[in-house]
Amino acid sequence: MTDKDRPQLYLISPPEIELAQFPDQLAACLDALPVACVRLALAGHDEERIARAADAVREVTEPREVALVLERHVLLARAHGLDGVHLTDGSRSVRAVRRELGDDAIVGAFCGQSRHDGLTAAELNADYVAFGPVGVSPLGDGKRAEADLFEWWSEMIEVPVVAEGALDETTVRALAPWTDFFGIGDEIWRMDDPAAALRTLAAAMG
């Protein structure tokens, strides 16, 4: 696999972060390896908390020229000068959010395991479609986005695709020929050294 064909890294924040710690951890990861995008994926709806986190994380990503998207909160993403949003309701909001944020913003859509939802999001001008989880997880209903979905997508659809959820080295190695991005989150943040964990997963991309 050439560098041109190799997937890119897409980091996903934990649902809860400590502002005294997380920006430094993120900076170490961004300095360790090239990262295309960071998703701030905080739980809850505390506007002030999300806003503070967005500003703190943007201070890390912006000077490194790494795109930063906010999960779900369209107006906060625009108000805090972020690069776009990551939508979690499949294709349902893509058209309205694209109209709200304009053509220059990043609009991504998580579509679970649904090929139909992914196709619809792509047709509605999403910048990327994410499928997952790709690994075995006790969370949710246990369904996985299988390798054949990514293989089909890579052969038929031009819109970039993200593989995320319960990644490990084996899964990364298997999906590397078929995905454009690996969405890596808890797989590294739960480790004592996230940057080292990121290097390990990235090495499996080939």
Whether residue 96 is contained in a domain is answered as no
Give the pLDDT confidence of 142-156 residue by residue, as tens digits.
Answer: 899 999 999 999 999
CATH of the domain at 37: 3.20.20.70
Alpha-carbon separation of residue 58 from 46, 55, 177 (angstroms): 18, 5, 31
Give the pLDDT confidence of 22-59 residue by residue, as tens digits.
Answer: 999 999 999 999 999 999 999 999 999 999 999 999 99
pTM of the model: 0.96
Residue 133: cis peptide before it, omega within 30 degrees of 0 = yes
Whether residue 70 is contained in a domain is answered as yes
Give the pLDDT confidence of 1-25 residue by residue, as tens digits.
Answer: 445 579 999 999 999 999 999 999 9
Whether residue 31 is contained in a domain is answered as yes
- Tell me how far apart the alpha carbons of residues 168 and 136 are, in angstroms, rounded to a whole number: 10
Give the pLDDT of residue 139.
74
Written as six digits, the tokens of 104 are: 């220059």
Give the pLDDT of residue 4.
53
Give the pLDDT of residue 141.
81
Q: Provide the domain limits for residue 40.
A: 8-85+128-203
- Judge whether residue 102 has pLDDT over 80: yes
Whether residue 50 is contained in a domain is answered as yes
Report, as an integer, the average pLDDT of 186-195: 98
